[in-house]
Amino acid sequence: MAKVLVVLYPDPLDGYPPTYARDSIPVITGYPGGQTVPSPAAIDFTPGQLLGSVSGELGLRKFLDDGGNELVVTSDKDGPDSVFERELPTADVVISQPFWPAYLDAARIEKAKNLRLVITAGIGSDHVDLDAAMRHDITVAEVTYSNSISVAEHAVMLILDLVRNFVPAHEWVTSRRGWNIADAVSRSYDLEGMDVGVIAAGRIGVAVMRRLKPFDVHLFYTDKRRLPEATETELGLTFVPSVAELVTRVDVLSIHAPLTHETFHLFDSALLGTMRRGSYIVNTARAEILERDAVVEALETGQLAGYAGDVWYPQPPEADHPWRTMPNNAMTPHISGTSLSAQARYSAGVREILEDYFDHKPIRPEYLIVDSGALAGTGEASYSTDGTGSPGSSGQ
Ligand code: NDP
């Protein structure tokens, strides 16, 4: 019997379950590149249900109860008196989502004497101190690809939101009850013909560029590794060898790199100052890739025309976090990777990982971040820059 401690975001204010807008979601059978979608032996939820909040329990209740395991689900995750902190010392498995991360720093990992497996229901395990996980021989796994397309769609939406000035225009007709066309269009442009750059051409970055191609933009990208020539030709991509050069060559920048020691606070005032005046940045990767106050300042001076994203630090951010109120922002809570469609996939992926773990079968390499005291699988590819892992979303 295992104790499985699951940290999920709170239920909707109007109660659980919500009234669903649609009756079903499309069935996705595979991902670009050939990776297969999660394939657990069974699922105990209906795809399209809200699974990522506390009452949704990632659809795991029946499976874990039937196996004689203990399931503890909470949204109370921060501070020494939180339910998470109290339950952690006796937990064998911890599961949380990047949208409402259970921060597992070295001190918490030290207290978690029974902990063997940490699962990210989604993608991005930088809320876990991977170095500490390696030292304590804890396996870290995530559901690679489960929400990559969800995020890519969101990033494209945010690019259009900023360039077209959607949010203020919407506010003119809703909360302000106006019809102020001149006010609404005074910051509105066409995306067509613009220079658009992508940092990190991984699963999400490539999906973003693929979706942007029909907008007739000029696409630039940088990555540690160049894409195959066939992909560059197909999508009309220009490779730029460094972030420093890329940012000077584009009007719109979309960030899709993982948070590592190398990308932590990569964007400071100096780098932002080298961009074209009136550039837009969309960041659906991780907040700490940029210095918080440098972004605010660049928006206030007009160096940036807009900033949009769904990633913050910490999560949830404090009520007076400046990104809530900085000018020309199109921020949302961390939602891009937790659409109801994505939840169905990553909940199935978590179930698959747990089935393998309980059956002492190997977890798919593409889901592994840390295993047997070292970076493994996808973790080896994504976090290998300095051989240590991520800064654990807590600064350096
Ligand atoms: P991938 O691992 O597929 O791609 C990441 C890419 O980043 C790789 O090509 C990698 O290159 C490259 N890279 C790493 N470091 C650098 C660097 N310093 N400069 C330039 N490129 C770099 O990841 P995904 O596309 O699936 O996801 C990207 C990130 O998006 C995740 O790490 C996560 O933080 C975030 N995310 C956000 C979500 C949300 O809900 N907002 C949901 C899912 C993910 P190489 O392989 O050579 O190391």
Name the residue with tokens 């239920």: 11
Q: What pLDDT, on the 0 to 100 scale, is given for residue 23?
A: 97
Query: Of 203, 256, 334, 364, which residue is the catalytic one?
Result: 334
Domain boundary among 280, 297, 324: 324
259 closest CA partner among 127, 89, 375: 127
Domain boundary among 298, 324, 350: 324
**Is residue 156 domain-shared with residue 305, that is, in the same domain?**
yes
Burial class (CB in 10 A: 0-12, 13-18, 19+), 348: buried
Ligand 1 centroid from CA 382, angstroms? 7
Closest atom of ligand 1 relative to the 337 alpha carbon: 40
C-beta neighbour count of 80 within 10 angstroms: 6
Q: 384 is written with which tokens? A: 């290998």
Joined tokens for residue 251: 């009007």
140 within a domain of the structure (yes/no)? yes
State the closest ligand 1 atom to the C-alpha of 98, by its place in the atom list counted from 1.
Answer: 40
Residue 390 lies in a domain: no
Q: Are residues 234 and 261 in the same domain?
A: yes
Whether residue 387 lies inside any domain: the answer is: no
Identify the CATH number of the domain in which residue 237 sits. 3.40.50.720
Residues with Cβ within 8 Å of 228's Cβ and at least 6 positions away in sequence, in order, are none
**308 and 348 housed in the same domain:** no
Residues 176 and 313 in one domain: yes
135 is catalytic: no
Partners of 104 in the beta sheet? 128
The residue annotated as part of the active site, out of 49, 97, 147, 303, is: 147
Atom of ligand 1 nearest to the CA of 286: 34
φ/ψ of 69, rounded to 5, equals -95, 160
Q: Which residues line ligand 1 (CB under 6 A)?
A: 122-124, 147-148, 151, 199-205, 222-225, 256-260, 262-263, 284-286, 310-311, 334, 336-337, 381-382, 385
- Catalytic option among 49, 165, 283, 315: 315
Question: 140 and 7 in one domain?
Answer: yes
Residues 49 and 167 in one domain: no
Pocket probe for ligand 1: among 145, 335, 382, the residue whose CB has the most ligand atoms within 8 Å is: 382
Ligand 1: nearest atom to the Cα of 336: 40
Alpha carbons within 13 A on the beta-carbon side of 302 = 2
Instruction: Provide the number of structural domains found in the chain.
Output: 2
> Do 230 and 368 belong to one domain?
no
CA of residue 328 to ligand 1 center, whole Å:
26
Amino acid (one-letter) located at 334: H
Q: Best mutation site among 96, 123, 262 for ligand 1, i.e. most ligand atoms within 8 A of its Cβ?
A: 123
Q: Active site includes 116?
A: no
Same structural domain, 366 and 315: no
Domain stops at, among 324, 354, 372: 324
Contact 290, 266 (CB under 8 A): yes
Is residue 134 a part of any domain in this protein?
yes
Span from the CA of 123 to the centroid of ligand 1 (angstroms): 9
Write out the residue range of the structural domain in which residue 356 sits.
3-146+338-382
DSSP SS3 for 307: strand
Structure tokens at 37: 């979608």
Distance 381 CA to ligand 1 centre (A): 10
* pLDDT tens, per residue, the chain with 396 residues: 999 999 999 999 999 999 999 999 999 999 999 999 999 999 999 999 999 999 999 999 999 999 999 999 999 999 999 999 999 999 999 999 999 999 999 999 999 999 999 999 999 999 999 999 999 999 999 999 999 999 999 999 999 999 999 999 999 999 999 999 999 999 999 999 999 999 999 999 999 999 999 999 999 999 999 999 999 999 999 999 999 999 999 999 999 999 999 999 999 999 999 999 999 999 999 999 999 999 999 999 999 999 999 999 999 999 999 999 999 999 999 999 999 999 999 999 999 999 999 999 999 999 999 999 999 999 998 875 343 344 444 432
Work out the number of other CB atoms within 10 angstroms of the CB of residue 289: 25
Q: Are 180 and 172 in contact (CB under 8 A)?
A: yes
Q: Which of 203, 286, 351, 364 does the annotation list as catalytic?
A: 286
Q: Is 286 known to be catalytic?
A: yes
Tokens of 368: 């592994």
Dist. CA 257 → ligand 1 center (Å): 4
Q: What is the pLDDT of residue 191?
A: 98
Distances (CA, A) of 112 to 109, 139, 234: 5, 13, 49
Q: Are residues 88 and 154 in the same domain?
A: no
Task: Note whether residue 331 is domain-resident.
Answer: no
87 in Cβ contact with 5 (< 8 Å)? yes
In the three-class reduction of DSSP (H, G, I as helix; E, B as strand; rest coil), residue 162 is classed as: helix
Q: How far is the CA of 188 from the centre of ligand 1 (A)?
A: 30
Instruction: State how far the Cα of 286 lies from the Cα of 282, in Å rounded to an integer.
Output: 11
Provide the token pair at 322. Answer: 């400046």
- The phi, psi pair for 372, rounded to 5°, reads 50, 40
Structure tokens at 24: 């079903």
Residue 330 within a domain: no
Question: 166-173 and 148-164 are packed helices; what angle lies between their axes, rounded to 10 degrees?
Answer: 70
Peptide bond into 316 cis (omega under 30): yes
CA distance 275 to 307: 13
Q: Are residues 184 and 66 in the same domain?
A: no
Known catalytic residue at 315: yes
Pocket test for ligand 1, best of 120, 158, 223, 286 (most atoms within 8 A of CB): 223
Q: What's the pTM?
A: 0.95
User: How many CA atoms within 13 Å lie on the side-chain side of 297?
Assistant: 12
H-only helix segments in 174-291: 181-185, 203-212, 229-235, 243-248, 269-273
284 and 358 share a domain?
Answer: no
Answer yes or no: do 105 and 25 share one domain. Answer: yes
Our mutation pick for probing the ligand 1 site, out of 31, 224, 237, counting the most ligand atoms within 8 A of Cβ, is 224
